[in-house]
Amino acid sequence: MFEKLQAGLYEAIRTLAGQGKLTESNMREGLRLVQQALLEADVSLPVVKAFIEKVSQEALGERVMRSLRPTQQLLTIVYEQLVALMGPVDHDLHLKPSGSTIMLCGLQGSGKTTTAAKLGRYLQQRGYKPMLVAADLQRPAAIEQLQILGEKIGAPVYVEKGATDPLVVCRNALRQMPALGANVAILDTAGRLHVDQALMNQLAAIDRLIQPDQVYLVVDAMTGQDAVNSARAFHEALTLNGVILTKLDGDARGGAALSVKYVTGVPIKFIGTGEGTDALEEFHPERIASRILGQ
Amino acid sequence: TRGRLVDQAFLDELFEVLVRTDMGVQAAQQLVDQIAQKYRNRVIEWSEAIEEIKKGLKDLLRQPESPIRFASQGPTVIMVCGVNGCGKTTTIAKLAYMFQSQGKKVLLGAADTFRAAAVEQLSIWAQRLGVEIVTGPQGSDPAAVGHRAVARAIETQADVCIVDTAGRLQTHQNLMRELSKIHRVLGKQIPEAPHEVLLVLDATTGQNGISQAKHFSEAVKCTGLVLAKLDGTAKGGVVVAIRQQMGLPVKFVGVGEKPEDLLPFDADSFVDAMFAES
Ligand SMILES: Nc1nc2c(ncn2[C@@H]2O[C@H](COP(=O)(O)OP(=O)(O)OP(=O)(O)O)[C@@H](O)[C@H]2O)c(=O)[nH]1
Ligand SMILES: Nc1nc2c(ncn2[C@@H]2O[C@H](COP(=O)(O)OP(=O)(O)OP(=O)(O)O)[C@@H](O)[C@H]2O)c(=O)[nH]1
Ligand SMILES: [K+]
Ligand SMILES: [Mg+2]
Ligand SMILES: [Mg+2]
């Protein structure tokens, strides 16, 4: 595991052989390499700095006294801390049997609409009756996209042609839920920039008035340093309950997972691993930790 | 102000400013090393170091005045590609709008026959802009749509034919082969076509942008980048690493979701924005 980082670390801490103990000075070069690896994996800089600080404190603690091989020890601490910070896992959607609402939000093109269908399918497999709500009234053919996906998974799609206010659409959709035979409504909202105050206010208004049981931020795994900025803004506007990380079927290292978890504190629920409606997996911090470290 | 000593703390701080732009560790370290070599242990203004770096980056990123290579006769064919959701289809609407306002006749080819409602999305844009569009059935061969779009562009004497493609991650080899095939087919009726192959990059993308540029260029020989979604807080610095490693220039930037939200890339304002406090 982590061959590249391990080789680099070994090189850096070679002089430690036989010392069996990590100290501030002999760890410096090793931590520099860890920092570099995290930045190359797109973990946001403030998060990298906080992480390195934490690892360095851990490493200087008593656990290390027992260590025989400092390189391995440091790497183990880095890995364990990554896993700990990206966890704990909570795959429960906390849905009420009486009927629940899940709202998906995020930047443009992050994968919300596709994820709405994937979640719908995931819920169907667990005995729920989901419906998809077309609350993106902005993007050309967003409604048609959701309708096609709804048809694909065999779930009803609530659509109001010609509507202009997504809040009204969501409210009407929830009223129609029993008639449509559904017990979970998944709201597909329009993509928006976190600095677009008008659209962020609109989203906050939907959150306040509809009071979804779960609000998930859908984040593109290829996101770089800006991940902390957008995630923080969405969390401040909405109080998120979870994160879904998409497009992990490529070769992105996915450092955004750590960044987003760090600034929001909410669990990462799922990962998207393809364009198909079945390409949704529960999040496992161990896998992303390995990935970030360049396995 | 009295300036600062260029010591390790100064250099570390500089590194942080650079890394935050998404240019990557390698590019950032290289620039820091240049400053270190020249000024270490001297006292200079912080702004002096920044200005020097900015100047270097502006020189690196500068590109010719006219970003599009037009065909000497017949339609100019432009292929647009990129990963999922980066902004291809919207960029095509913006390009069409730009060409139209230059008095050119535009035709669109909807060769994303895969994603749900991709054809409908581009068709809506075509209708709004009043340009002709060539489509094919959902799931049909995208190369065939591309071929028909070029044929129709020749027939109607369109000046520009812009071909949309489905989003794909660069590691999916079968999808990349499909892209190569579309590229090949576009050249069947007009040997120099496609005249431009634009790779759209989402400005929020981090280091994966380098992999995107490499793999897409291998598959379809990209001629330039369009950096979409630059209207957020992301700096788009990964284009620095891409330019350094592969020479691929940025030709346009996207700054919104409307047809007029496309600007020709300007190295000076892009680099200034990279270092603007946010
Ligand atoms: N490879 C891959 N593609 C994905 C994944 N999730 C979504 N996509 C693709 O990403 C693109 C954008 O997905 P959408 O669901 O339209 O994104 P969105 O967030 O709804 O976009 P807007 O509504 O425009 O903001 C589409 O091409 C999807 O097929 C994933 O996990 N892997
Ligand atoms: N803010 C902003 N949004 C943009 C920009 N360009 C595109 N978008 C939005 O990003 C989302 C995705 O854009 P598309 O043009 O559908 O992206 P695509 O690459 O064609 O997506 P796929 O075909 O699914 O791979 C849409 O919501 C667009 O409105 C831009 O420059 N700024
Ligand atoms: K930006
Ligand atoms: Mg959508
Ligand atoms: Mg598209």
Res A211: pLDDT: 96
- The CA B88 to ligand 2 mean position distance, Å, reads 6
Count Cα neighbours of B130 within 13 Å in the Cβ-side half-sphere.
Answer: 6
Distance from CA of A228 to the nearest CA of B (A): 10
Confidence label for A19 from pLDDT (cuts 50, 70 and 90) = low
Q: Which of A18-27, A286-295, B199-208 has the highest mean pLDDT?
A: B199-208
Collapsed DSSP state (helix, strand, coil) of residue B18: helix
CA-based nearest residue to B200, from B183, B212, B185, B208: B212
Res B90: pLDDT: 98
A138-185: pLDDT as tens digits: 999 999 999 999 999 999 999 998 999 999 999 999 999 999 999 999
Is the separation of the CB atoms in B112 and B118 below 8 Å? yes
Res A12: pLDDT: 60
Count Cβ atoms below 10 Å from residue B103 Cβ, excluding itself: 7
Res B1: pLDDT: 60
A-chain CB neighbours of B257 within 8 Å are 108, 138-139
Separation in Å, CA A107 to CA A45, A111, A199: 21, 9, 11
Residue B54 tokens read as 């900015």
Confidence label for A22 from pLDDT (cuts 50, 70 and 90) = confident
Confidence label for A20 from pLDDT (cuts 50, 70 and 90) = low
Ligand 2 site, residue B109, Cβ cutoff 6 A? no
| Residue B278 reports pLDDT greater than 80 | no
Q: How far apart are CA A136 and CA A166, in angstroms?
A: 7
Q: Does A39 touch chain B (CB under 8 A)?
A: yes
Res B64: pLDDT: 77
Nearest bound ligand to the CA of residue B273: 3
Residue nearest to ligand 1 atom 21, measured at CA: A109
Residue nearest to ligand 1 atom 24, measured at CA: A109
B13-59: pLDDT as tens digits: 999 999 999 999 999 999 999 999 999 999 999 999 999 999 999 99
Between chains, do B25 and A42 touch, taking CB under 8 Å as contact? no
The residues, ordered by sequence, that sit 6+ positions from B171 with a Cβ below 8 Å of its Cβ are A249, A250, A251, B211, B215
Stretch A63-73: mean pLDDT, rounded?
A: 64
- Give the global pTM: 0.96
| Percent of chain A residues past pLDDT 90, beyond the cut | 77
Is the separation of the CB atoms in A294 and A2 below 8 Å? yes
CA dihedral sign of residues B7, B13, B18, B22: positive
Rg (CA), chain A: 22
- The CA A280 to ligand 5 mean position distance, Å, reads 21
B166-194: pLDDT as tens digits: 999 999 999 999 999 999 999 999 999 99
Helix/strand/coil percentages in chain B, nearest 5: 45, 15, 35
Stretch A253-281: mean pLDDT, rounded?
A: 98
Confidence label for A30 from pLDDT (cuts 50, 70 and 90) = confident
Res A59: pLDDT: 83
Count Cβ atoms below 10 Å from residue B212 Cβ, excluding itself: 29
Confidence label for A24 from pLDDT (cuts 50, 70 and 90) = confident
B249-277: pLDDT as tens digits: 999 999 999 999 999 999 999 999 999 97
Q: Is the peptide bond before B194 cis (omega within 30 degrees of 0)?
A: yes
Res B131: pLDDT: 98
Q: For an interface test with A, which of B84, B120, B173, B210 has the most A Cβ atoms less than 10 Å from its Cβ?
A: B84
DSSP string, chain A: --HHHHHHHHHHTGGGTTT----HHHHHHHHHHHHHHHHHTT--HHHHHHHHHHHHHHHHSGGGGG-S-HHHHHHHHHHHHHHHHH----------TT-EEEEEE-STTSSHHHHHHHHHHHHHHTT--EEEEEE--SSTTHHHHHHHHHHHHT--EE--TT---HHHHHHHHHHHTTTTT-SEEEEEEPP--TT-HHHHHHHHHHHHHH--SEEEEEEETTB-TTHHHHHHHHHHHH--SEEEEE-TTSS---THHHHHHHHH-PPEEEEE-SSSTT-EEE--HHHHHHHHTT-
| Residue B145 reports pLDDT greater than 90 | yes
Stretch A4-20: mean pLDDT, rounded?
A: 60
Residue B195 DSSP one-character state? S
| Residue B238 reports pLDDT greater than 60 | yes
Q: Does B30 touch chain A (CB under 8 A)?
A: no
Confidence label for A238 from pLDDT (cuts 50, 70 and 90) = very high
Res B13: pLDDT: 97
The residues, ordered by sequence, that sit 6+ positions from A278 with a Cβ below 8 Å of its Cβ are A118, A121
Q: How far apart are CA B28 and CA B26, in angstroms?
A: 5
Res A2: pLDDT: 61
| Residue A69 reports pLDDT greater than 80 | no
Q: What is the ipTM of this complex?
A: 0.97
| Residue A68 reports pLDDT greater than 80 | no
A180-208: pLDDT as tens digits: 999 999 999 999 999 999 999 999 999 99
Give the number of the atom of ligand 1 that is nearest the alpha carbon of residue A271: 31
Confidence label for B218 from pLDDT (cuts 50, 70 and 90) = very high
Q: Point out the residue among B86, B170, B207 whose CB comes nearest to the CB of A224.
A: B207
Backbone angles phi, psi at B159, to 5 degrees: -85, -35
B72-130: pLDDT as tens digits: 999 999 999 999 999 999 999 999 999 999 999 999 999 999 999 999 999 999 999 99
Give the number of the atom of ligand 2 that is nearest the alpha carbon of residue B232: 1
Confidence label for A97 from pLDDT (cuts 50, 70 and 90) = confident
- Mean pLDDT score of chain A, rounded to an integer? 91
| Percent of chain A residues past pLDDT 70, beyond the cut | 90
| Percent of chain B residues past pLDDT 90, beyond the cut | 97
- Mean pLDDT score of chain B, rounded to an integer? 97
A36-57: pLDDT as tens digits: 999 999 999 999 999 999 998 8
